[in-house]
Amino acid sequence: MKLGVRAAALSAGSITALVYALCTAFCVLVSESTLAYVTTVFFHIDVSGLYRPITWESFIVSLLGWSLGTDVVAGAMAWLYNRLARTPVYE
């Protein structure tokens, strides 16, 4: 089976952008509840000191950074899979 490099990259980048936008919406709309939830999920570490205000500029830069970064990694993984899958496996 061969993976489509472009399809894998585009789908991973799109899902990452969607998840990032959803998480940012939670941070903006219900920041106290989100901080409390994240604190309980990460082994009771207080993450309130890590919170910083979200601006449109920081949102867009981070959205592009995360989605393009994931795009590149998923494309590289699909390419590497295709490259290694055509190599014969010796038992």
Q: What is the pTM of this model?
A: 0.79
d(CA 40, CA 48): 12
pLDDT tens-digit series, residues 64-90: 999 999 999 999 999 999 999 887 666
d(CA 14, CA 79): 18
Looking at per-residue pLDDT, the higher value among 70 and 34 belongs to 70
Counting other chains too, the contacts that 84-91 makes at CB distance below 8 Å and 24 or more residues apart are 85/1, 85/2
End-to-end CA distance of the chain: give it in Å, rounded: 20
pLDDT of residue 4: 93
